[in-house]
Amino acid sequence: MKRILAVAGLALALAACGNPDAPGAPETPPPAAEEAAAPAAGVNGTINVYSARHYDSDKAMYAAFEAETGIRVNVRESGAPELLETMRAEGARSPADVIIASDAGALYRFQEAGFTQGVSSEKISAVIPAQLREKDGHWFGLTKRYRIIVYDPQVVSADEVDTYEDLADPRLKGEICVRSSTNIYNLSLMGEFIGRNGPEAAEEWAKGVVANFARKPQGGDTAQIEAVAAGECAVALVNHYYWVRLATGTPEERMKTAKTQLSFPDQDGNGTHVNVVAAAVAANAPSPDLAIRFIEYLATPKGQEMLTTENKDFPIVAGSTLPAGLEHINGFKESDFPLSELGAHQAEAQAIFDRAGWN
């Protein structure tokens, strides 16, 4: 019997931890407000943060940094692709000091476009493992998230979903729900698969997963969990925090997760795929020293708590407080694949998905 790390009945335990009246964060960030004027250049104790995050708790985080340092924070929020296009349009005159994105693969795109710079910080290097930051300092991981399997235990047994390879097994035909292949989370997972197993094995796996689809890819990760709970499929591939948010949410949301269980795949192999929310210093940052100081702040236990409380990521820095709901999820093995290599396989990953019909 393969060893499986499955979290059974966890939603009931999490219910005591969550705020049942707190609304969940939106699945995707709101579009940038094009009518708003671009923030002022980062001078005289001001930094401009271009963030793909979209949480109310971030506003408190920026305010806390301002109060502690006296450095003003201007923020532009949008999706990572929109921020990338904004910086292309701004060119060398971009006022961005810090770029924050929710996947190492997304930061790779900024780096490849020449919009980040390599920096060093002893404070950051001392608390963020090398695997979770770019080798030349182009970005630094700040929080961790895991690509896991959510399943219906009434239909699928734990040992049928304890590896990513299991998703391609014909016994799961008609049982898998997943979001589009163009989503960065799926591209990064495929990037690791290519890096470990080679493109031929990766394509064979993708074709096997497609053959098991219950429906065409649609919606975000929350929609996949809801589909499992509703009986539309029995297995879904999602980031862990989407499930935890539901499990600590409203009574209706908690009922959905109560019908499901979690598998952190590959516990007897390479470990579960890990990714990060990460920050970079912009290539033309008007205030690079202040930008580094801001990222250093986010790499403190206080900064980690504010980064993770609402979105339910895992902190990276030792001694940081776990968000409510995560205290029941522990003891699993995570992949040690270098995250700086994920982006290098992005184009190949998308081509494989396209050939497999994972639209």
CA distance 51 to 289: 18
* Residue 190: strand, helix, or coil: helix
Is there a single domain that holds both residue 54 and residue 70? yes
Phi, psi of 181 (to 5 degrees): -65, -25
Give the helix ranges, DSSP H, for the chain.
Answer: 10-15, 56-69, 80-90, 104-112, 122-127, 184-197, 199-211, 221-229, 240-247, 251-258, 288-298, 301-308, 346-356
Is there a single domain that holds both residue 153 and residue 16? yes
Is there a single domain that holds both residue 138 and residue 214? no
Q: How many domains, the chain?
A: 2
**Residue 334 within a domain:** no
**Residue 93 within a domain:** yes
What residues pair up with 177 in beta bridges, in sequence order? 236
**Residue 246 within a domain:** yes
**Residue 212 within a domain:** yes
Give me the pLDDT at residue 330, please.
87
Q: Domain containing 78 — which CATH number?
A: 3.40.190.10
Is there a single domain that holds both residue 91 and residue 132? yes
**Residue 181 within a domain:** yes
- Burial category of 300 from C-beta neighbours within 10 Å (exposed 0-12, middle 13-18, buried 19 and up): middle
Is there a single domain that holds both residue 86 and residue 125? yes
Q: Is pTM beyond 0.75 here?
A: yes
Give me the pLDDT at residue 10, please.
52
Give me the pLDDT at residue 35, please.
34
Cβ proximity of 133 and 124 under 8 Å: yes
DSSP assignment, residue 272?
A: B
Q: What is the per-residue pLDDT across 326-335, written as a single tens digit (0 to 9) for each?
A: 998 989 999 9
Is there a single domain that holds both residue 123 and residue 212? no
Is there a single domain that holds both residue 78 and residue 203? no
Give me the pLDDT at residue 30, please.
43
Is there a single domain that holds both residue 111 and residue 159? no
Is there a single domain that holds both residue 243 and residue 347? yes
Is there a single domain that holds both residue 219 and residue 348? yes
Q: What is the per-residue pLDDT across 25-81, written as a single tens digit (0 to 9) for each?
A: 334 444 443 333 344 444 459 999 999 999 999 999 999 999 999 999 999 999 999
CA distance 260 to 257: 5
Q: What is the per-residue pLDDT across 173-229, written as a single tens digit (0 to 9) for each?
A: 999 999 999 999 999 999 999 999 999 999 999 999 999 999 999 999 999 999 999
Is there a single domain that holds both residue 80 and residue 114? yes
Q: Which domain holds residue 199?
A: 6-23+147-273+343-356
What residues pair up with 47 in beta bridges, in sequence order? 73
Nearest to 7 by CA among 199, 151, 198, 218: 151
Q: What is the per-residue pLDDT across 133-188, written as a single tens digit (0 to 9) for each?
A: 999 999 999 999 999 999 999 999 999 999 999 999 999 999 999 999 999 999 99
Is there a single domain that holds both residue 91 and residue 107? yes
